Structure 1
Amino acid sequence: MKNPAKDTFTPKEALQKLEHFCAYQERCHSEVVEKLYSLKMTSDEIDTIVVQLIEGNFLNETRFACSFARGKHRIKQWGKVRITNELKARHISSTNITLALKEILLEEYFETFENLAEKCWNNLTETNLLKKRKKFCDYMLRRGYESNLVYEKVQELEQS
């Protein structure tokens, strides 16, 4: 007979489970609340557990935002626009978003942008220059880079 997944958790068990959840990887408040709802906790229990996680330093929104920004830029090569939008979608405060974006060094940011732009432009096989420009711009904007950077770069690449 199959062992059904445990349906109900005591607040203490849920706290323990969430401590592991937060220790494994930085989490934002909304992810934690969502997880607690999936464990069928009440609103009061959720509030209590979230406060305990914050007091135990398992949950720290500033730390999450900074880690998120660094990781998404270095690993996925996202621009600041995309990182900002993703953090806003996770209900991160604008103060924490500003702090997180400061984690990305300007020198590193522009180097990543240049490398990604060159790679993208060289990999496009489109012969029609207008279509190639559009594909390049769409890709770079989707990656979250500022439109003025993208448009300056496409003009520079066309002339080379």
Structure 2
Amino acid sequence: MTEYLKDALRKAASFCAYQERTQQEVRKRLDAWDIYGDDAEEIIAELITQGYLSEERFATSFAGGKFRVKGWGKRKIAQHLKQRGITGRNLETALADIKPDDYRARLAELLDKKRRTLHDDNPLVVKQKLARYALSKGFEMGLIWEVLGGED
């Protein structure tokens, strides 16, 4: 490995150590540093070997954070992970880490909070607005109606 590539590896390791990254993000950064093809793949392989880069770790961290902090549902999390190049087993593992009881409780909490902001006398209109809100957060329609059906 040339000195230039060793320097790029050090910079890429620092980039990955700052926060979890995907291979796609690292490739984009390497492109910005004018490192392409086999050289870029060699650096990425080395980052994986050294433990700086793990798409499973990224996916789990991303999914957990977006669920806890932003209140996103699994559909929205999956969509954003796919946009970042995470698919297959890593995607499934990340979503499986969200416990069903926590997931349902978070949805109920979001709907309750949203309900307090709505000022409409018609309960059907309120339910419709709540369902639309939960869908926009990425929750599944069946679960939304289950949670909304238990309220009234």
TM-score by length of 1: 0.84
Question: Is residue 21 from structure 1 mapped to residue 20 from structure 2 by the alignment?
Answer: no
Gaps of 5+ in 2: none
Name the structure 1 match of 2:109. Answer: 115
Name the structure 2 match of 1:4. Answer: none
Aligned partners of 1:95 and 1:42: how far apart in 2? Answer: 27
Q: Which residue identity lines up with residue 46 of structure 1 in the other structure? A: A
TM-score by length of 2: 0.89
C-alpha displacement of 1:128: 5.2
Gaps of 5+ in 1: 1-8
Name the structure 2 match of 1:77. Answer: 71
Distance of aligned partners of 1:127 and 1:38 in 2 relative to their CA distance in 1, 3 Å threshold: farther
Question: Is residue 135 from structure 1 mapped to residue 129 from structure 2 by the alignment?
Answer: yes
Question: Is residue 88 from structure 1 mapped to residue 67 from structure 2 by the alignment?
Answer: no
Identity fraction in percent: 37
C-alpha displacement of 1:82: 0.9
Q: Which residue identity lines up with residue 66 of structure 1 in the other structure? A: T
Name the structure 1 match of 2:47. Answer: 53
Q: Which residue identity lines up with residue 95 of structure 1 in the other structure? A: R
Segments of 4+ moved more than 6 angstroms: none
**Count of residues in Structure 1 that have an aligned counterpart in Structure 2:** 150
Aligned partners of 1:130 and 1:10: how far apart in 2? Answer: 64
* Secondary structure at 2:53 match in 1: coil
C-alpha displacement of 1:41: 1.1
Aligned partners of 2:117 and 2:133: how far apart in 1? Answer: 12
